[in-house]
Structure 1
Amino acid sequence: MTQQIRRVLVRSFEDIVIERVPAPVAQDDELLVRTTVVGVCGSDTHAAAGHHPFIDLPYRPGHEAVGVVVATGRGVGDFAPGDRVIVEPNLYCGRCPQCRSGRYNICQELKVFGCQTPGALADLFTIPARRVHRVPDGMTDLQAVLVEPLATPVHAVAKAGDLTGRTVAVLGAGPIGLLTVVAARHAGAARIAVTELLESKRARALRLGADVALPAGAPDLVDRAHEALGGPVDVVFDCVARGQSMAQATDMVAKGGHIVVVGVGAAGTTPVRLDLVQDREIRIEGTLMYTAEDYRTAMSLIASGAVDTAELVTATFPLEDAAMAFSASLDLEQVKVLVTADGAVGVDGR
């Protein structure tokens, strides 16, 4: 009798199913974890639509994950059954120059748990013990599942350097844009402007700490941003990463300023005004994922109460309704959609 678990398989947006597979077993250096809650990321919806440049279909999602250790392999240190853990999903080689310098988030052989490998949208999953963090005492699962999405803006803000007293524009008020507001405010930004098409998300941005929220489609957007921030912007975080947003960022940023590309761009080419980049000494920098230090900062921020889960978590679905969770994530009024699992496992699929 083989123990079976449920696991989500995504072949396309129209073909998201629950498969029954043998329960995994923790190998050396691995933890066997019972899933409690998983976030649906913009990367997940892009992948399901066939638009993500680095995730191939079919795939088995779940990289924003919180769970409880149920068994351990050998060599996992002091992890033990019952420990609550948060997944840090970047699976790195540890050998390449980037890994050796501590920048394992851009490992030459990087794979992402739940993107290039089976993820946590399942009753149980295994993961190397080095790729999880303990959930801090007193932190709820709903708070813990926001650590991974917050770590990305924390890393992006760190790439921009010291923000103390500087002006910031955040383009896009999806989950990453909203959390970039939180991270930039924590880093000392003097004034923050957010651009967003939806009025409801502009209102959320203001409640989460932005000083002004502007309609992204306004023809005079750049002028309005300059007026709101007292002139050209010191740092622009592009959380949209499309041709229009990059053009806005380039026009918005100050001479000698910094554009940080946070959103996942579409495959192919994006026009950039190189004449302005050269003439104004604009620095354009990409940012990918995070490291353990960013996770620690994100956990500290959440523990401090700086992140209002009620503003970010807008829908929750059980595992068997994962397809509905993916569909809900396409609703632009949603912010963070979660999937919960009760860890129920049967025998021979029952």
Structure 2
Amino acid sequence: MKSVVIQKPNELVIEERPLPAPAAGDVRVKIKLAGICGSDSHIYRGHNPFAKYPRVIGHEFFGVIDAVGEGVDETRLGQRVSVDPVISCGNCYPCSVGKPNVCTSLVVLGVHRDGGFSEYAVVPSKNAWHIPDAIEDKHAVMVEPFTIAANVTGHAQPTEHDVALIYGAGPMGLVTVQALKGVYRVKQVIVVDRIEERLAMAQRSGADWVINNAEQSLQAVLDEKGVKPTLIIDAACHPSILQEAITLASPAARIVLMGFSSEPSQIVQQGITGKELSIFSTRLNANKFPVVIDWLEKGLINPEKLVTHTFDYHHVTDAIELFEKDQRQCCKVLLTFGQ
């Protein structure tokens, strides 16, 4: 089989590898589609501290089970599945409180273990989620990105009365817009970004109001309208955002941090306690695949609004470079494997 392998930072090859056999409890998935994420680019460029090389990247992937290991029901053969990349122990404290996404021995497919940019991948059976026939392939491959939004909203518990402010109209900001509007029917969703084309994508995804904060002060615009967000989501990950969010937030608001910035943020504690704000962080997803599959079955979200480009996997280098360089026109890029 052919696999996309990062041998070391900035060295990508398409390598011939032996066809893997599933071990006990595993299934083998014949990959049909995979999505490119920022973390794939970070591993390629050597900017992910968790990655070990060589590595088959890719943690957003969909395909069909073509082999099962010992102990796996053979009726799973031929099932269409999307794969949850989060592999956890099930026994540690985070796992015991429903947070396998921060398991003390966390393994993420495509980061710590070979992922889905390959013609075949072996994964734990419990991580391969059956996709109903009514859900198209091109939607099924997008389940994992939407689980990020499901994790955010699981923390924040949005209601139709919320006024939500999202920093960043990249893929993670946009999936969150769709979840807030399509699933939770939030009264108002405001998106702030510095790229006009991204703001247009946010409007297509359901944002009620978009603001370019390269051209105007976000605080001044919100103050002029008398808007105090009750839910603020940082999907842009800049050290200055947290303090601004604390300043802008309504009393009793919730703030959710999605980013992995290693730069320090300077905040004034009084702003948090004075308003009794709740601050959450979110990483990956905690058993959210069935949640998103249900959203798709009910037509509450539309992944096609995010997909801008599709490449055959042989052109993966071109695909990643487009993803990295064209933030104006490019949002979600898919790779096609054997059909």
State the TM-score, normalized to the length of structure 2. 0.93
Tell me the CA shift for residue 280 of structure 1.
Answer: 2.8
Structure 2 residue 261 is the aligned partner of structure 1 residue 266 = yes
CA-to-aligned-CA distance 1:30-80 (integer Å, 9 cap, x gap): 101111000011111223233234334543211101011111111123543
Q: How far is the alpha carbon of 1:175 from its aligned partner? A: 0.9
Q: Deviations over 1:109-163 (max 9, x none)?
A: 1110111100010111100101110111111111001111001111101201242
- Find the partner of 1:120 among 109, 116, 120: 116
User: Does 2:274 correspond to 1:283?
Assistant: no
Where structure 1 has 5 or more consecutive residues not aligned to the other structure, the ranges are 344-350
Moved more, 246-255 or 164-173: 246-255
Q: Please name the residue that 1:183 is paired with.
A: 179
Distance 2:5 2:32 in 1: 18
**Could you tell me how far 1:284 is from its partner in structure 2?**
1.7
- Any conservation in 2 of the 1:53–1:267 contact (CA below 8 Å)? no
Structure 2 Cα separation of the partners of residues 65 and 296 of structure 1: 15
Inter-CA distance 226–305: structure 2 relative to 1 (3 Å threshold): farther
Q: 2:298 — aligned with what?
A: 304
User: Is the 8 Å Cα contact of residues 239 and 261 (structure 2) preserved in structure 1?
Assistant: no
**2:21 equivalent among 14, 19, 25:** 25
- The one-letter code sitting in structure 1 at the alignment partner of 2:276 is E
Report if the CA contact (8 A) 2:160-2:186 is conserved: yes
Q: Which moved more, 1:209-218 or 1:122-131?
A: 209-218
Q: Distance in 1 between matches of 2:213 and 2:235?
A: 12
Tell me how far 1:219 sits from its aligned partner.
4.0
* Residue deviations 1:236-292 (CA, integer Å, cap 9, x gap): 0100111133233222212222110123x2234333333422333222210112233
Where does 1:73-84 land on structure 2 (aligned, <5 Å)? 73-77=69-73, 79-84=75-80
Q: Is the 8 A contact 2:158 2:184 kept in 1?
A: yes
Give the alignment of 1:34-183 within 5 angstroms: 34-77=30-73, 79-183=75-179
Gaps of 5+ in 2: none
Which whole-Å deviations, capped at 9, do the CAs of 1:165-208 have from their partners, x for residues lacking one? 11100111111101101111222311110011111111121121
- Supply the distance in 2 between the matched residues of 1:110 and 1:145 (Cα, whole angstroms): 22
Letter in 1 for 2:192: T
The 5 A counterparts of 1:199-210 are 199-210=196-207
1:159 is paired with a residue of what secondary structure? helix
- Residue 226 of structure 1, CA deviation: 4.5
Matched positions, count: 336
Please tell me whether residue 322 in structure 1 is matched to residue 316 in structure 2. Answer: yes
> In structure 1, the residue corresponding to 2:4 is in which secondary structure?
strand
Structure 1 pair 226/136, CA: closer, same or farther in 2 (3 Å)? farther
**1:53–1:266 Cα contact (<8 Å) kept:** no
Query: Hey, what does 2:212 align to over in structure 1?
Result: 215
Contact 1:178 1:205 in 2 (8 A): yes
Tell me the TM-score normalized by structure 1: 0.90
Structure 2 partner of 1:348 = none
CA RMSD of aligned residues (A): 1.9
Contact 1:51–1:266 (8 Å) recurs in 2: no
Q: Percent identity?
A: 28
Distance 1:245 1:58, change over 3 A: farther
Q: Contact 2:2–2:14 at 8 Å: present in 1 too?
A: yes
Alpha-carbon separation, structure 1, partners of 2:317 and 2:294: 33
| 1:342 counterpart = 2:335 | no
